[in-house]
Chain A
Amino acid sequence: NAGVTQTPKFQVLKTGQSMTLQCAQDMNHEYMSWYRQDPGMGLRLIHYSVGAGITDQGEVPNGYNVSRSTTEDFPLRLLSAAPSQTSVYFCASGRLGNTIYFGEGSWLTVV
């Protein structure tokens, strides 16, 4: 997991609050993505980016926004948190077409 840094590690939000999960990588990877993991389910793709200025939706994009102003950073924004967004969030990066590597995760609880 070296090279992909996620902050914060843990966060508790109230319903309706907004926040940003940060993701940074120092490997000059073109591809970055966000996944969420829920109990009994595999990881599901939220949003991804193939380079600075380019983002696209994954399987479960509703309620989340992303931007990619630099190669290194790919923040995930929750504009109005809902209890259904309680989950573990993983950021991943990789060279285009190659294996992706995950960060250590951010645990988010929305009450």
Chain B
Amino acid sequence: DQQVKQNSPSLSVQEGRISILNCDYTNSMFDYFLWYKKYPAEGPTFLISISSIKDKNEDGRFTVFLNKSAKHLSLHIVPSQPGDSAVYFCAASLQGAQKLVFGQGTRLTINP
């Protein structure tokens, strides 16, 4: 049973517009959530995180929203840039930011 799900395998967005990536989870005990970005042939790169005691965290163009009642989080990228084209993984943890459980990933393509 997959505890973290990213139901959209791919997303295409025009440059300059907002990209919204979604993630759902089933385990209400998760206490920390993270987003990683991955380019081909490279390891995942940490992007942004949020603790379960918060509902929003912002870092530059990236904002993560957490809705605990819906067990849903989302990553907003504004404005989207061509360099944002990558696979984005949502991850959740029961122990701070470690022992991560990952979603399947969403491939984001930013079109010029």
Report if A and B associate in a common complex: yes
Chain B residue numbers with a CB within 8 Å of A31 are 98
Which one of A40, A43, A94 lies within 8 Å of B44 (CB-CB)?
Answer: A43
Contact A45 B45 (CB under 8 A): no
* Residues in A35-74 with C-beta less than 8 Å from chain B: 35, 40-45, 48, 58-59
- Chain B contacts of A43 at CB under 8 A? 44, 89, 91, 100, 102
Contact of B46 among A33, A59, A99 (CB under 8 A): A99
Closest-by-CB residue of B relative to A98 is B97
Cβ of B44 and Cβ of A102 under 8 Å apart? yes
Q: Count how many chain B residues have C-beta atoms less than 8 Å from C-beta atoms of the other chain.
A: 25
Give the docked Cα–Cα distance between A1 and B36 (Å).
Answer: 12
Measured CB to CB, the closest approach of chain A to B58, in angstroms, equals: 17
Q: How far is it, in angstroms, between the C-alpha of A92 and the C-alpha of B34 when the chains are bound?
A: 14
Asked if B104 is at the interface (CB within 8 A of a chain A CB), the reply is yes
Interface membership of B109, Cβ < 8 A:
no
Docked-complex contact A102 and B89, CB < 8 angstroms = no
Q: Are the C-beta atoms of B98 and A40 separated by less than 8 Å?
A: no
Residues of chain B within 8 A of A100, CB atoms compared: 46, 97-98, 100
**In contact, A99 and B41 (Cβ under 8 angstroms):** no
Which of B6, B43, B99 is A48 in contact with, Cβ under 8 Å? B99
Check: B42 CB closer than 8 A to any chain A CB.
yes
Whether A45 contacts B99 by the Cβ 8 Å rule is yes
**B-contact bits for A68-106, CB 8 A (1 contact / 0 none):** 000000000000000000000010101011111111110
Cβ contacts under 8 Å, B49 to chain A: 99
Q: Which residues of A approach B to under 8 Å, CB–CB?
A: 1, 4, 31, 33, 35, 40-45, 48, 58-59, 90, 92, 94, 96-105
Residues of B bordering A, CB below 8 Å: 4, 6, 9, 34, 36, 41-46, 49, 89, 91, 95-105
